[in-house]
Structure 1
Amino acid sequence: MFTGIVQGIATVAQLRDRPGLRSFRLQFPPGFADGLAIGASVACDGVCLTVTSLDGPDAASFDVMQQSLHLTTLAGLRAGSRLNVERAAKDGAEIGGHPLSGHVDCMATLAGVRQPENNHVLRIAVPPQWMRYVFAKGYIAVNGASLTVAEADKRAGWFEVWLIPETLRMTTFGDKQPGDALNIEIERQTQVIVDTVRDAVEERLGPLLPAIEALLRERGH
């Protein structure tokens, strides 16, 4: 489990393709890898990866399966790419953000950037099937960072987050430009509630749907 509080920025030092997977060697900020062990979990731009080797005091390697490359932004990383990293949370750790699994639900697109004074606003476009779980004032994870949704337009398919200077300092969000892909993990409690309500409504209204649809057609809707 992770807390969604990014602990540093890592750099891709090397990558290598092998049958069925791609291996990354990441260079971490000084001290980030203290006590890190083979088999440990690290969230890399929100994707939970397992340490496969330790490559010096501040570097480690990870293997990424083709499925994970297909479903996340990791396929687009190159030597020199920067990404948000967080060590797995320990028992009793303070949850400064919200609990994350490190399992990315979808990729979104950075639709726009605004920079009012001392703020940095990202407008993020999300696939329609995932937008139903996004609510203003709710939590969402973007590239492994726990963020609060400031505004959400479900019809247009976007939400906005406001970032303070400290968040920009500790993450890669300041590097992002419109059109860039982002990893999204939905807040699980919100997903459970929405799906439970939808299932209950569909179960109760299911037999009535043909009549409702016929009535709407008669009225020109």
Structure 2
Amino acid sequence: MFTGIVQATVEVVHIEKKKDFQSHALRFTEALLEGLSLGASVAHNGCCLTATKVEGDLVWFDLMQATLNLTNLGTLAEGDKINVERAAKFGDEIGGHSMSGHIMCTAQVSEVIDTENNRQVWIDLPKHITKYVFDKGYIGIDGISLTVGEVREHRFCVNLIPETMLRTNMGWRKVGDKVNIEVDPQTQAVVDTVERVLAARG
């Protein structure tokens, strides 16, 4: 489980591509390395991956083809930076919202509005995901727990404070970028349950 509170943006140092498979190495900070063991879960732009090898400050992860197809991790290049969060521990403060690290889709940034102390980002959603997104609800964008500002048809916006722009990749996201989306699991459960009940009633 993750909280959506990004701990750092880290560099993708190496990428090894094979047929329908890919491995990459991230350069971790000392704080991120503390207590890390093989098999640990780490969110990469919100996608849960397993640590497979640790070489000094480099940590390796494997990505299957399904992950490469469903997320924006397949578009990474060496030198890119991504949002990282270690798995939550019992007793940790939950500053965001409960997230599984299972990405539902990618979505495209369609508009960015910068003002002196705020950045508003509009994102176009696939139609089948829109039903899970509500004004003032939670959503995970590249692993960041954010509050939905407004929903208009198949697009929504989030409002970013300077701290979020400083600590995450949302500070440099631009129009046309693809971001990973995880909807709030509680909202998804409620919507899916209501749909099943209504369908059963005919």
Per the normalisation by structure 1, the TM-score is 0.89
Tell which has more relative contact order, 1 or 2 (C-alpha 8 A, sep 6+). 2
Partner in structure 1 of residue 102 of structure 2: 103
1:149 Cα offset (Å):
0.3
Give unpaired runs (5+ residues) of structure 1. 207-221
1:169 Cα offset (Å):
0.8
Q: How does 1:4-83 map to 2 (within 5 A)?
A: 4-56=4-56, 58-83=57-82
Q: 1:105 touches 1:185 (CA, 8 Å); kept in 2? A: yes
Partner in structure 1 of residue 2 of structure 2: 2
Q: Deviations over 1:66-118 (max 9, x none)?
A: 11000100110000011000000111111100011100001110011001220
Structure 2 counterpart SS, 1:32: helix
Structure 2 residue corresponding to 1:180, chosen from 177, 183, 198: 177
Structure 2 counterpart SS, 1:149: strand
1:20 Cα offset (Å):
3.3
Q: Does 1:194 align with 2:191?
A: yes
Q: Deviations over 1:38-88 (max 9, x none)?
A: 1111000001010011021x3200010011000100110000011000000
Q: 2:164 touches 2:171 (CA, 8 Å); kept in 1? A: no
Structure 1 counterpart SS, 2:88: coil
Q: Does 1:137 align with 2:130?
A: no
Give unpaired runs (5+ residues) of structure 2. none
- What RMSD, in angstroms, separates the aligned Cα atoms of the two structures? 1.0
Percentage of pairs with the same residue: 47
Q: Distance in 1 between matches of 2:47 and 2:55?
A: 20
Runs of 4 or more, structure 1, over 6 Å off, are none
Q: Distance in 2 between matches of 1:40 and 1:189?
A: 25
Q: Does 1:149 align with 2:148?
A: yes
Mean CA deviation greater in 4-13 or 24-33: 24-33
Paired AA for residue 159 in structure 1: F
**Structure with a larger share of its residues in strand:** 2
Mean CA deviation greater in 81-90 or 14-23: 14-23
Q: Distance in 2 between matches of 1:46 and 1:172?
A: 12
Greater Rg by CA: 1
Q: Distance in 2 between matches of 1:59 and 1:164?
A: 31
Paired AA for residue 131 in structure 1: T
Partner in structure 2 of residue 215 of structure 1: none
